Every structure is written in structure tokens, then in C-alpha cells.
Amino acid sequence: MYPLRLLDRSHFEKLVGIPEAIEGVEQAYRLFSRGEAGVFPVIVHQFEPGRREMDLKAGHLAGAGVFGMKMLGWCAENPARNLPPLAGLIIVMDVDRQQPLGILDGTPVTFLRTGAAGAIGARTFARKDSRTALIVGAGNQGRAQLLGLSFAMPQLETILVADILESQSARFVEEQQALYPRFKLQAVPFSGLSRATEESDLIITCTRSREFFLKKEWVSPGTHINAIGADMPGKQELEPALVASAKVFADSATQVVAKGECQHAAKLGLVPAERITEIGTVLEGMKPGRLSAEEITLFDATGMAIQDLMVAAMALNRAEKKGIGTVVHF
Amino acid sequence: MYPLRLLDRSHFEKLVGIPEAIEGVEQAYRLFSRGEAGVFPVIVHQFEPGRREMDLKAGHLAGAGVFGMKMLGWCAENPARNLPPLAGLIIVMDVDRQQPLGILDGTPVTFLRTGAAGAIGARTFARKDSRTALIVGAGNQGRAQLLGLSFAMPQLETILVADILESQSARFVEEQQALYPRFKLQAVPFSGLSRATEESDLIITCTRSREFFLKKEWVSPGTHINAIGADMPGKQELEPALVASAKVFADSATQVVAKGECQHAAKLGLVPAERITEIGTVLEGMKPGRLSAEEITLFDATGMAIQDLMVAAMALNRAEKKGIGTVVHF
């Protein structure tokens, strides 16, 4: 018998916020570059493409003494049924004893660690004088990205928000403006994306698109792009020529070529793997990041199990100290 | 929010026994052969080979409307720490809503579904007039295999038990004889394996060996062998020539070539993939099983996620009806 701690959304939200998530995800990226963490091949299964999909990410973090996995399911019809579209679980296990330590609701961890990934990408690669950011995709991930930016890029002034459903971006701005009084939030029409793009120093794409909507000609020199949405075969947000013209960074080079934004440019032979630099190597000072104010930089993030595991392990650690969560004996 | 049911060992043992596990595993094998179930590539990580290992098996069962995964860790030092060597969890998810249905302790499910696999292998391929069975490996899996045989092969009379640690086989016989008064259990020395093998109609190997110990010349015509132990790269119980001389059946041809007993014979070019018949195709009547009383048949079982998921889903179903388990809201 061993104790197994369960953390639901409300438990998790009491334990880890965006600053801690950023710290954890940065640590995961660094350990990965140092060879002290690894990810296993991601398993993706599309029961009905664009309607019912699952993915399973697993990995290990020698540095933190944990390993485990996250399994998420996504169903497009769920909101109409009054159910969350995305649901799943994270299991954290202990390397030494090879036993489960805890189980967490996978969605709040995913929300926070993806917001953290965007924040780290922006902080590492965007120009320090960035003033205007554009978020394309006014859904939950748009919220996570804004939360990340608010912590990592306080110098921003204007946040433009676009969504293919204009009611979504309007609602997003109305709801989120109150949370971030420091920023000026503004909904922009999806049809006017070219102008919004030109004005932006930082662009974050976080949609479920399967066709690119961001064209190379719209993006000004010096822009940094966080490509967050494409994380499965078939998903796409950027014109391949834009990817090819940018200096490309990734969470995992293997993953982004297989199923991130880079999958398309790679298939066309436009982005050879040796042109993709992993963010951990930049954070560790092993490789350079942005070299000039004119470069277009791109951070392609597909999400790695070690991000989830690091954030989940932090939460479990704190939960144990504070006596938070439901403990069952297995 | 959705309800999530947790079943620990004591819950599970109230819900599913060996007859139900055999029914579930047989159903999983059949659905797999009909293309109504699938498994994803197994993830194996040896933190320290032979001391700390994990594996993660995932799959889906369209027929049963569920998918999910099992993650197990194994640590050789745990018994000395008064901890179970094997521990882990199973997550069952619902295909329609893509949400978790429940979490189960992975070890009792693994115990029962592996016993069921052996039982189905024996019932399907062993000669009906089999009287003597030999179990090599007097550990937990030996117990599971004996439990499976007691249900599926009631015609057996003598069960020989061998283990490289002779105290283990003596203890096994003493403890298990009381549970199965119908059988005559008898410990045989590991050094006398050649004689025990010759006398046996049915041989079950379920050790953690990494070198073969069962030689071709010891096995009599007409014998059926269940090769249960080898389920990771590097594990081995049978001489490759023995595998090559047998009519080979498998749970999954892909898995047994990658990491089952067949890995070694396949590497030596002795067992081409087209010579391996999946058990589900035999159960479904698509392919023949044993054709004569002289053939040596071999069932190589590495364990498939769909076995665990089917048995776990049965348990969750019954648990819901009977109100058993711990329900948390996630």
C-alpha cells in the first residue's frame, strides 16, 4: 500500500500559479538540453479527425526524480453537451521507488504550462522593446498565453486579439481587460489580420486551424512568433514560407518536425532539422537566440511531457507540505 | 466536472475474478483481430536495466467504447524496502466524451489479465489430453498462471513448479496446494528442468530471465508452451532454435517481434513475421490453431493494453452498478 495524492482543478490552482509554472517549464527545457530529461514518442490517435482526438505524452526527468505521463482527450461536441472539450489526467511517478506519487487533472496543468511555454518563448526571443502583441485564437489557450505574457512581458502596452469567430474575440477582450488593466486589449477583425500583424512585435498563434492563416508578407522584420496551436499531424497556422524565412526555435526538434508547425515546412524541404534550435540550449547558453533587431524569430511549441510533469511534481510537492488534495491508499 | 471512479486492489478483487478476466481478454483478442481494437507502440524505459524499469501500454477498443493506458514501474530493490516491486495505474477513458471514466491499481489487473492470457493460450493450443503442466517461475506470475489454468484446464492432474531459487518453488507449492486440491503440485529442481520438461504436456515460462533456460532438445513433441516472461527488449526464456521449431502464435505479432520471446529468433532470422499467427484470428476461426498431436505450439504473450483496458472497463462497469470504489469529481 502506498499513498496516492489526487489534485483536482481547485487544489492545483491553490498550489501553482504562472510564475511557478514558468520556473518549472524553464527548468524542464534546461534539463532536456543537458540530457537530464527525456520524452518518449508522443502517441496521437484521431478517433474522428477534428472531432474526437486523444494524445498521450510521457517522459522522465532524472534531475527531478520523477517520470510519468499525461493523457488527454478532446471532443468537439462536448461544449454543446455542457462538458469541457478537453479532459484528461497526469500521473507522476517516483523514479527511485517506481511507484505513483499522484494524479492530477490534466487540463489546468496543460493550460498553465502552455501559457508558461509562450511566456518563456517571448521572454527569450522577442525584442526587449516589444510594445504590441497579437494573439490569434481567443479560446482557452489565448487566455493562457495572455496570462503568461502578463508575467513575462510587462513592457507590452497593446494586446490585439483576433479569432475567426469575431464574437469570441470581443468576449475575450471584455472579460480579460478587467484582469489586466495595465494592457490595452483590443479585438481586431480576422479579415484584417494583415494590418494587425504588421503592427505587432510579437505574434502568438493558438488556434485549432488545419490551414495556414498567417502569411509571410504580413510579418514585419524583427517580429517574434510563438506558434502554439499546431501540435498534431495536420494542424497548421503559418505559411511554410514564413517558417522558412524565420530563425526557428523549438521545444523539441523531433516533435515539431513530426507534428508541430514545422511539420509542413519540413515536408516541403524548407526547414532542415539542423536549422531548428531547441530553446533549452539557448536558456543554458549553449546556443545563441535572437542576434539582431531585424530577424524574424519563431518558437514552435508542441508541448512536452516533461513540462507537465515538472509543473505537476511542483504541485504535488507543495500539496504534501500543505496537506492539500485527496489522499487514497493504493 | 465529471465523476472519476478509483478502484484499489480490494475494490477490484470484489468485482472481477479469473472467469471474467478470461472472458474480457478473449474479447479483447477477438476485437483486435477484427480491427475493432488497436494498440499504440509500447513505451519501455530502463532507468537501470534489471533494477528500475517502466512500461507504458496504451490502446483503444472501439467495440467497447473505451481507450486508455497502463503505466507500470518495477524496482528490484522494493521488496527489501517492504514495498511491492511492481506498481502503477490504469486509466480508462470514454471514446464518445473523451473523458476519464476511472483509475485502477494496475497490479491486480495485470496479475489477472496475464493469468487469463496464459489460460486462453493453454485452452486454445494445448492438447486436450494434457495431464502435466510445468510452471517455470514461482513468483506472482506463476500464481496468476496457476489460477488461470485451474479455470481453463481442469483436466490437468500434475503441476510441476521450478524456480532458479529453490526455496521459492517449495514455498509456492506449499502455499498453492491448499488452494487447488484437485491438482497435485510438486516442486522440481531447476537443475532437473530437462526431465520435468520432457514429462510435461504444457510448459509455462514466467520468469524475469535475460538468458534462455529452456532448450529445444528437452521439449517433447506435442507440447504447448506459453512464453509469458519475456516482455521487454533483452528478456529471454527459450532457446531460439526451440522457438524456430514451434508453430508460433502471439497476442500481437508486432509486439512479440519487438520485445517478446520472438525478438531473439526474429533477430536471428529464424522466425519471419509471416510465420506468427495472432491468437485472435484463431479464436475468431480465421486461422487454424494446433493441427496435430505432435506439433510443438508456442504462445508468445507480451501483454497488450487492450487486455488491461477490457478487464478494467468490466470492473468499472460493475463498480458503478454496485456502488463500489471511491468517486472523486474532477
Name the β-bridge partners of A162: A136
Tens-digit pLDDT profile for residues B193-252: 999 999 999 999 999 999 999 999 999 999 999 999 999 899 999 999 999 999 999 999
pLDDT value of residue B2:
83
Q: Which of B126, B127, B83 is nearest to B107 (CA)?
A: B83
- Averaged pLDDT of chain B: 96
Give A310's contacts (C-beta < 8 A, 6+ positions apart): A24, A25, A27, A28, A61, A64, A113
Contacts of A58 in chain B (CB under 8 A): 43, 56, 71
The three cell numbers locating residue A234:
495536420
Q: Which of A244, A203, A256 is nearest to A226 (CA)?
A: A203
Give A148's contacts (C-beta < 8 A, 6+ positions apart): A18, A22, A115, A116, A117, A118, A119, A122
pLDDT classification of B268: cutoffs 50, 70, 90: very high
pLDDT value of residue B68:
98
Give A161-227 as a DSSP string.
EE-SSHHHHHHHHHHHHTT-TTSEEEE--GGGHHHHHHH-SEEEE----EEEEE-GGGPPTT-EEEE
pLDDT classification of B63: cutoffs 50, 70, 90: confident
pLDDT value of residue B18:
98
- Res. A1: pLDDT tops 90: no
pLDDT classification of A230: cutoffs 50, 70, 90: very high
Give A265's contacts (C-beta < 8 A, 6+ positions apart): A240, A243, A244, A271
Residue B70 known to be catalytic: yes
Name the closest residue on chain B to residue A326, using Cα atoms: B328
Residue A261: strand, helix, or coil:
coil
**What's the average model confidence in pLDDT over A119-142?**
97
Tens-digit pLDDT profile for residues B156-196: 999 999 999 999 999 999 999 999 999 999 999 999 999 99
Closest Cβ–Cβ partner in B58, B73, B95 for A93: B73
Count H helices and E strands in chain A, helices first: 11, 18
CB A159 within 8 A of CB A135: yes
Instruction: For each of the domains in chain A, give its residue range(s) and CATH number, in order of start.
Output: 3-109+306-329 (3.30.1780.10), 127-302 (3.40.50.720)
- Residues from A in contact with B at Cβ < 8 Å: 2, 6, 8-9, 40-41, 43, 45, 47, 52-54, 56, 58, 60, 67-69, 71, 73-75, 78, 81, 83-84, 87-89, 91, 93-100, 103, 105, 326, 328-330
The three cell numbers locating residue B118:
496464459
pLDDT value of residue B330:
82
Tens-digit pLDDT profile for residues B70-89: 999 999 999 999 999 999 99
Contacts of A8 in chain B (CB under 8 A): 328-330
**What's the average model confidence in pLDDT over A194-218?**
97
CB B88 within 8 A of CB A93: yes
The three cell numbers locating residue B209:
530471465
Tens-digit pLDDT profile for residues B90-100: 999 999 999 99
Q: Which of the following is catalytic: A14, A57, A70, A321?
A: A70
10 Å Cβ neighbour count for B286? 12
Q: Whole-angstrom Cα distance, residue A79 to residue B97?
A: 10
The b/e string for A32-45 (b: 16+ C-beta within 10 A; e otherwise) is: bbeeebbbbebbbb
Tens-digit pLDDT profile for residues B15-51: 999 999 999 999 999 999 999 999 999 999 999 988 9
Give B257's contacts (C-beta < 8 A, 6+ positions apart): B263, B266, B271, B273, B276
CA dihedral of residues A158, A164, A168, A169 (deg, nearest 10):
10
- Residues from B in contact with A at Cβ < 8 Å: 2, 6, 8-9, 40-41, 43, 45, 47, 52-54, 56, 58, 60, 67-69, 71, 73-75, 78, 81, 83-84, 87-89, 91, 93-100, 103, 105, 326, 328-330
pLDDT value of residue B288:
98
ipTM score of complex? 0.90
Residue corresponding to grid cell 482527450: A73
**What's the average model confidence in pLDDT over A232-245?**
96
Q: Which of A23, A16, A17, A57 is nearest to A40 (CA)?
A: A57
pLDDT value of residue B273:
81
pLDDT value of residue A49:
87
Give B292's contacts (C-beta < 8 A, 6+ positions apart): none
Q: Whole-angstrom Cα distance, residue A25 to residue A304?
A: 9
pLDDT value of residue B314:
97
Cα A41 → chain centroid: 18
DSSP-derived letter for residue B305 is H
pLDDT value of residue B1:
78
Q: Whole-angstrom Cα distance, residue B265 to residue A23?
A: 49
CB A307 within 8 A of CB A57: no
The three cell numbers locating residue A160:
490585439
Interchain proximity A98–B78, CB inside 8 Å: yes
pLDDT classification of A250: cutoffs 50, 70, 90: very high
- Averaged pLDDT of chain A: 96
Tens-digit pLDDT profile for residues B120-137: 999 999 999 999 999 999
10 Å Cβ neighbour count for A75? 25
CB B115 within 8 A of CB B311: no
Tens-digit pLDDT profile for residues A99-129: 999 999 999 999 999 999 999 999 999 999 9
Beta strand B3-7 pairing with B224-227: unpaired
Interchain proximity B52–A95, CB inside 8 Å: yes
DSSP-derived letter for residue B166 is H
Interchain proximity A73–B98, CB inside 8 Å: yes
